[in-house]
Amino acid sequence: MGSASRHPGLKSEFLEFSRFALDTGCCWCYHGGMKEKHRWPTTSIRANPEVLHQARIAAVTSKKTLGQWLEEAIMEKIEREKKESKEE
């Protein structure tokens, strides 16, 4: 069962771009109104499939690639833990 059949409301173009971005490590970023293409090395991680599925849904809902969404979540956790360690 493909992603499009599980999420019929998603546009196939977005799903195709998301698959491309995940497979190639490529994403588009906007800096000062200019669109730039960045390539990062592909990294494999092991994660609970259900948690990863929830992350994919959150990424699509916020119109981001999974990589972009995960980067933001990781940075938020790093900042939160730095703040908590300073408070102790």
pTM here is 0.54
Average pLDDT over residues 7-19: 54
Reported as a single tens digit per residue, the pLDDT across 35-58 is 555 667 788 889 999 999 999 999
Rg of the chain over CA atoms, in angstroms?
15
Please state, in angstroms and as integers, the Cα–Cα distance from residue 14 to each residue in 2, 30, 60, 79, following that order: 14, 17, 9, 30
What residues does each domain of the chain span? 3-87
Read off the amino acid at residue 83.
K
% of the chain surpassing 70 pLDDT? 56
For residue 4, the model assigns a pLDDT of 47
